[in-house]
Amino acid sequence: MQLNLLNKTISASILGAVLATSVAFAPLQADEAADKQKGFDIAARSDRSDNGFTSSEVEAIMTLVNAAGRETTRELSFKTLERENEDVGDKGLTVFSTPRDVKGTALLSHAKILEPDNQWLYLPALKRVKRISSANKSGPFVGSEFAFEDFTSTELNKYEYKYVGEETLDGMKVDVVERFPRYKNSGYTRQVSYIDQDVYQVRKIDFYDRKNALLKTLNFSDYKEYDGGVWRAHTLAMTNHQTNKSTTLSYGEYKFKTGLADKDFVKGVLKRVR
Amino acid sequence: MPKTMTAMDEFAVRLANGVIKKRWLVILATILLTFGIASGMQYLGFSNNYRDFFSEANPELQAFEEFQGTYTKNDNFFFTIVPNSGDVFNNETLALVEEMTEKAWQIPYSLRVDSISNFQHTWSEEDDLIVENLVEGAVDLSQEDLEKKRAIAIAEPLLRDQLVTEDSRAIAINVVVQYPEKSMNEVPEAVAHVRQLRSEIMAKYPEHKIAITGVSMLNTSFQEAGFGDVSTIIPIMYLILIVLMAVTVRSISGTVVTVAMILFASLIGMGVAGFGGVALTPISLSAPTIILTLAIADAVHILLTMRQHMREGESKHDALVEALRVNFMPVMVTSLTTAIGFLALNFSDAPPFWHLGNISAVGVVAAWLMSVTFLPAMMSFLPVKVAAKKGTSDSNFMGNLAEFVVAHNKKLFYGIGAFAIAMIAMIPQIEFNDQWTEYFDQRIEFRRDADYANEFFGFYPIEFSVLAEGEQGVNDPAYLAKLDAFNQWAKKQPNVTHVYSISDIMKRLNKNMHSDDASWYKLPENRELASQYLLLYEISLPYGLDLNDRINIDKSASRMTVTLSNVSTTETKEFLDNARAWITENAEGTMKATVPTSAQVMFTYVAERNVESMIAGNVIAILAIAVVMIFALKSFKIGTLSIIPNGLPILVAFGTWALLVGTVGFSVASVASVSLGIVVDDTVHFLSKYIRGIREKGYDRAGAIKYAFEMVGNALVINTVILVIGFAYLATSNFKINADMGLLTALAIAFALIFDFLFLPALLMRGSGKLIAAKPAETNDSNVEKKNAA
């Protein structure tokens, strides 16, 4: 009898505890969902501020610096065609002009959201186009600290988001949003992006590697507003905290709406570009 | 007390009386000072970086640092995985490798992970270049697939005998790590993770052995060897010395005070090291053992003299004062010379030896100061029982020995002289060997794992940053051809297990670009092709597996890694010399400046560097010690003469080592100055008594020799026994560098006693006998002649 009573007391207290916990956690769960939504909203507002640029052309200089302080540069140009909708990515054509030995080498890419991008490379010395079949998304781009995905346009649906909070960065009010890759074979567990509250542009991204240690930081600067309210950063500086190497991408003037179309982003054009 | 007191004798007597009078103040001050300084120990840390064994000025270190600034740091973990079945190409082993490769990315500070599972296998299909992991989904591979993987892996020059053995018995995973070097805990943190990973994997795949080696394991082993030594050697050393003290000094209170004194001296030495921000290594950790061995000598001399006088019926107070008076000078001089010997280690190229030298020097000086203050203060109130003098004197043996030496001085002089010369002639036979795996004994896990891994894979990487002509130079066909020739040459060298260079990648890509036609497995014929292949390859590589650690960013150099099997230092040197010769003969232009570098290269020359840098240190130590001797003995001739009995035993010890052992690590460089500082003590005690015999007691040479034997013979034997045991006990260290140093020093100390007893008196008996005047003030030859005649 007594035992029974004791059991009842225990059951009651367990029940009480469970109830209390669920009450305590309920708002937390709600908060989590809210943070996800808010993170997505901020990222989407930033991403969509770009909508309608149609196409762009720009030239850039990439400066690589190793841990010993030695520098080297590569010059390249980018042509980009805006995606049709948010379920696919932009199309891009990258042409190398220096170093001399790779002049005319051209990379065509059709970005995908969750599958590996389609990539074709034209090798002028071989006079052949090769399709690159690789599951790798985040490999380094031509020996730099950038992965190809780091500096090409970000696809909104590649990530899940979480709003972290507000901060001040270089005198700007920024929203801090974490994003988690949804695609396989990513080298990153997460990225922390800093998006200003004024014109909604990404100002900084911290990249965390597979073991969730800070790997790289990308700083966006020299933003300029072009016609149609499209913003572009003209200096992208990537620092690798683990190897102490860094790469800076300096862009020239962007040209928009240059009449590029789908036909300019097919395998066949690769041989003709220069 | 004798009437002929020197100024120093007077000072010693005043000091003794003063100390005894204010003994409580002295004791309190000693304890307070000791613990004040010992508080510095809280700042001590353990080194876990092999680079700490090299000074900033070391040219091999500088070359390697530059190399690592260009490519990647070379710290790594290397897992050797061996299935009991004897063949790694089965679903289970490959699944293990796949899982472990994936998990290895979680190792703290890891930069990249390489294994055959994530090896980027490239092949072509029509106009597609396919880049994929060589092994994926290993659990479901069919027998046919497994054989296909085997064929690819064994044929691939980048994998064969580097990540899988040609006979398929073992497979490996290499993890490159880069530490921020901000905290001492980084290496232990990574190592703990790695060991945990191994345990997990071995529990899941029980039919496998996994050995962990690599630079990070080497680094952590320095720390573990140091811990091992501290926890085993030091307590046992204390025990041995307490027993020895109890037996020789035959006084409980004397033993207790001495143990307290040496403990204080060690604490002070380590405390100073802490304030100096020293990172402890197994080498500097032998300092406490050395201090306690050395500190004991001062106490033994003073306690033995006190006991001698008490047995002759003097009161404890008088005996104590007299003990201090007669020992003050020799104890000071021996401590000074020992400290000089240790301080000379600052000339070494290896910072751990600076630390060892400085900690020991501080400890020795502290012990000396305490032996003339704290020791008499304590002894003055502690009870000392001494049996009355018995009929037989224990100095009888010493007296007989003295007579024997005097009688046979000619035979002894030439006999021992000839022996010494014969042994010294053996010195060139000594071979340096600094195989760093063998620094550790079998008690250290790294050594056992290294021995096991060595059965399957090479161990010692030699890196070459092969220089090209300017930016993009690595794509020049002439460069690639030379690089390939160098690679082919290296593969044919004895003890080479693997060679890694981009020429092999270029050949594979060229084949891939030509529909995998085997006849295209050759270098691309122009630089545009080579550059564009590389660009293509780089774009297709995944995160962490890029070529940034293989090619300089401006493509003005690429890295070739040659892996050597478990080779000796001499064999490594042969390879390096041959490689340099190949470069001189075959390389053109910029490539001529290509040099080998790596941790192995640093260790290959560590002995030479240290011997070289210690030559100046040893010369200065010898001169400084001779000067101290000249002043202490107040005789230029005897002081200079002392170099012979001081120097010979060390040289003979080296010769004996050459005969008995043959090889030695870089610690050899430290032995000369350390043992010189110590062996000089015997000579100081013997000669100071000899001179006292002539000047104070008016003996002739034979009489003074007998006097010296009777006065200090026993103390020297006891001291030598203690020192030999103390240093020889270092041979039980986990760390070979300490063991070598300990044994060699013990050998030198043992020889020193033999030389001081049998050779030095014979030497003093030789010649005209004009070595010393009766009184220091008057250098009167006739005086000496008269005494000798008497």
Question: Mean pLDDT lowest for which of B482-491, B497-506, B579-588, B619-628?
Answer: B619-628
Q: Are strands A230-240 and B120-125 parallel, antiparallel or unpaired?
A: unpaired
Question: What is the model's pLDDT at position A239?
Answer: 94
Contacts of B69 in chain A (CB under 8 A): 66-69
Question: What is the model's pLDDT at position A19?
Answer: 52
The domain defined by B1-43+250-383 folds into Multidrug efflux transporter AcrB transmembrane fold (1.20.1640)
Average of per-residue pLDDT across B735-742: 84
Q: Do B131 and A132 touch (CB under 8 A)?
A: yes
Per-residue pLDDT of B36-80, as tens digits, reads 999 998 888 888 888 888 888 888 888 888 888 888 777 899 999
Per-residue pLDDT of A52-94, as tens digits, reads 788 889 999 999 998 878 888 999 999 988 887 777 888 889 9
Question: What is the model's pLDDT at position B762?
Answer: 87
Q: For residue B649, with 0-12 CB atoms within 10 Å meaning exposed, 13-18 middle and 19 or more buried, which class applies?
A: buried
Per-residue pLDDT of B542-585, as tens digits, reads 877 888 788 888 888 999 999 998 888 889 999 999 999 999 99
User: Could you give the CA distance from residue A59 to residue B5 in angstroms, rounded to a whole number?
Assistant: 95
User: Sheet containing B110-114: which strands, arranged edge to edge?
Assistant: B110-114, B171-177, B76-83, B208-213
Please report which confidence band the pLDDT of residue B779 belongs to, taking 50, 70 and 90 as the band edges: very low
- For B399, half-sphere exposure in the C-beta direction (CA atoms, 13 angstrom radius) is 5
Which pTM value belongs to this model? Answer: 0.82
CATH of domain A48-269: 2.50.20.10
User: Could you give the CA distance from residue A126 to residue A140 in angstroms, rounded to a whole number?
Assistant: 23
Per-residue pLDDT of B696-713, as tens digits, reads 888 888 888 988 888 888
Average of per-residue pLDDT across A224-241: 89
Q: Do A134 and B532 touch (CB under 8 A)?
A: no
User: Could you give the CA distance from residue B547 to residue B531 in angstroms, rounded to a whole number?
Assistant: 13
> Are residues B401 and B709 in contact, defined by beta-carbon separation less than 8 angstroms?
yes
User: Could you give the CA distance from residue B136 to residue B134 in angstroms, rounded to a whole number?
Assistant: 7
Stretch (H or E) spanning A255: strand A255-256
Q: Is the CB of residue B523 less than 8 Å away from at least one CB of chain A?
A: no
Question: What is the model's pLDDT at position A77?
Answer: 92
Tokens coding B665: 């690590």
Please state the CATH superfamily assignment of the domain spanning residues B392-425+607-790 in this structure: Multidrug efflux transporter AcrB transmembrane domain (1.20.1640.10)
Q: Is pLDDT of B776 > 50?
A: no
Q: E strands of B344-455, at which residues? A: 431-432
Amino acid letter, B440: F
B127, B527, B547: residue with CB nearest A129: B127
Q: Which positions ≥6 away from A256 have C-beta within 8 Å?
A: A53, A54, A55, A56, A226, A227, A228, A230
Q: Do B1-43+250-383 and B75-223 fold alike per CATH?
A: no
Tokens coding B523: 């270098």
A67, A125, A211: residue with CB nearest B69: A67
In chain A, whose CA is at the least distance from the CA of B555? A72
Ranked by mean pLDDT, which of B188-192, B436-440, B456-460 comes out on top? Answer: B188-192
Contacts of A186 in chain B (CB under 8 A): 543
Q: Is the CB of residue A135 less than 8 Å away from at least one CB of chain B?
A: yes
The count of other CB atoms within 10 Å of the CB of residue B156 is: 18
Q: Do A101 and B472 touch (CB under 8 A)?
A: yes
Closest Cα partner for B327 from B282, B289, B375, B288?
Answer: B375
Q: Which whole-number Å values give the CA distances from B160 to B50, B157, B451, B567, in the listed order?
A: 29, 5, 20, 20
Contacts of B548 in chain A (CB under 8 A): 140, 143, 243, 245
Question: What is the model's pLDDT at position B208?
Answer: 92
Task: Tell me the shortest Cα–Cα distance from B69 to chain A, in angstroms.
Answer: 5
In chain A, whose CA is at the least distance from the CA of B534? A142
Q: Do B540 and A139 touch (CB under 8 A)?
A: yes
Q: Do B528 and A70 touch (CB under 8 A)?
A: no
Question: What is the model's pLDDT at position B368?
Answer: 92
Closest Cα partner for B600 from B545, B561, B551, B639?
Answer: B561
Q: Is the CB of residue B545 less than 8 Å away from at least one CB of chain A?
A: yes
Q: Residue B208 pairs with which residues in a beta bridge?
A: B83
What are the structural domain ranges in chain B? 1-43+250-383, 75-223, 392-425+607-790, 460-564+567-604
Task: Tell me the shortest Cα–Cα distance from B215 to chain A, in angstroms.
Answer: 18
Higher pLDDT, A78 or A28: A78
Q: Residue A72 pairs with which residues in a beta bridge?
A: A64
User: Could you give the CA distance from residue B710 to residue B1 in angstroms, rounded to a whole number?
Assistant: 18
Amino acid letter, B420: A
> Are residues B175 and B104 in contact, defined by beta-carbon separation less than 8 angstroms?
yes
Share of chain B above pLDDT 90, in %: 26
Q: Which whole-number Å values give the CA distances from B585 to A188, B22, B180, B581, in the listed order?
A: 47, 78, 40, 6
Tokens coding B190: 């990574």
Q: Is pLDDT of B220 > 60?
A: yes
Q: Do B111 and A186 touch (CB under 8 A)?
A: no
Contacts of A242 in chain B (CB under 8 A): 109, 111, 178, 180
Q: Is pLDDT of A24 > 70?
A: no
Ranked by mean pLDDT, which of A160-169, B92-101, B661-670 comes out on top? Answer: B92-101
Closest Cα partner for B114 from B466, B540, B547, B703?
Answer: B547
Q: Which positions ≥6 away from B547 have C-beta within 8 Å?
A: A143, B502, B505, B534, B537, B538, B541
Q: Is the CB of residue A39 less than 8 Å away from at least one CB of chain B?
A: no
> Are residues B702 and B406 in contact, defined by beta-carbon separation less than 8 angstroms?
yes
Higher pLDDT, A11 or A236: A236
Per-residue pLDDT of B381-399, as tens digits, reads 888 777 655 544 555 788 8
Question: Mean pLDDT lowest for which of A146-150, B38-42, B131-135, B405-409?
Answer: A146-150
Using CB atoms and an 8 Å cut-off, which of residues 555-574 of chain B contact chain A?
A: 555
Q: For residue A124, with 0-12 CB atoms within 10 Å meaning exposed, 13-18 middle and 19 or more buried, which class applies?
A: buried
Q: Is the CB of residue A271 less than 8 Å away from at least one CB of chain B?
A: no
Task: Tell me the shortest Cα–Cα distance from B149 to chain A, in angstroms.
Answer: 19
Average of per-residue pLDDT across B294-321: 85
Question: What is the model's pLDDT at position B212?
Answer: 94
User: Could you give the CA distance from residue B359 to residue B230 in angstroms, rounded to a whole number?
Assistant: 15
Three-state DSSP class for residue B80: strand
Q: E strands of B170-328, at which residues? A: 171-177, 208-213, 279-280
Average of per-residue pLDDT across B338-363: 90
Question: What is the model's pLDDT at position A46?
Answer: 85
Is B75-223 a CATH 3.30.70.60 domain?
no
Contacts of A102 in chain B (CB under 8 A): 528, 531-532, 535
Q: Is pLDDT of A3 > 60?
A: no
Q: Is the CB of residue B284 less than 8 Å away from at least one CB of chain A?
A: no
> Are residues A185 and A169 in contact, defined by beta-carbon separation less than 8 angstroms?
no
Please report which confidence band the pLDDT of residue A220 belongs to, taking 50, 70 and 90 as the band edges: very high
Q: Is the CB of residue A210 less than 8 Å away from at least one CB of chain B?
A: yes
In chain B, whose CA is at the least distance from the CA of A141? B539
Q: Which whole-number Å values give the CA distances from A237 to A9, A224, B572, in the listed order?
A: 64, 16, 43
Closest Cα partner for A156 from A182, A136, A137?
Answer: A182
Q: Do B538 and A100 touch (CB under 8 A)?
A: no
The count of other CB atoms within 10 Å of the CB of residue B653 is: 26
Q: Which positions ≥6 away from B267 have C-beta within 8 Å?
A: B34, B35, B37, B38, B41
Interface probe, candidates A117, A122, A126, chain B, greatest B C-beta count within 10 A: A126
Tokens coding B495: 């003890």
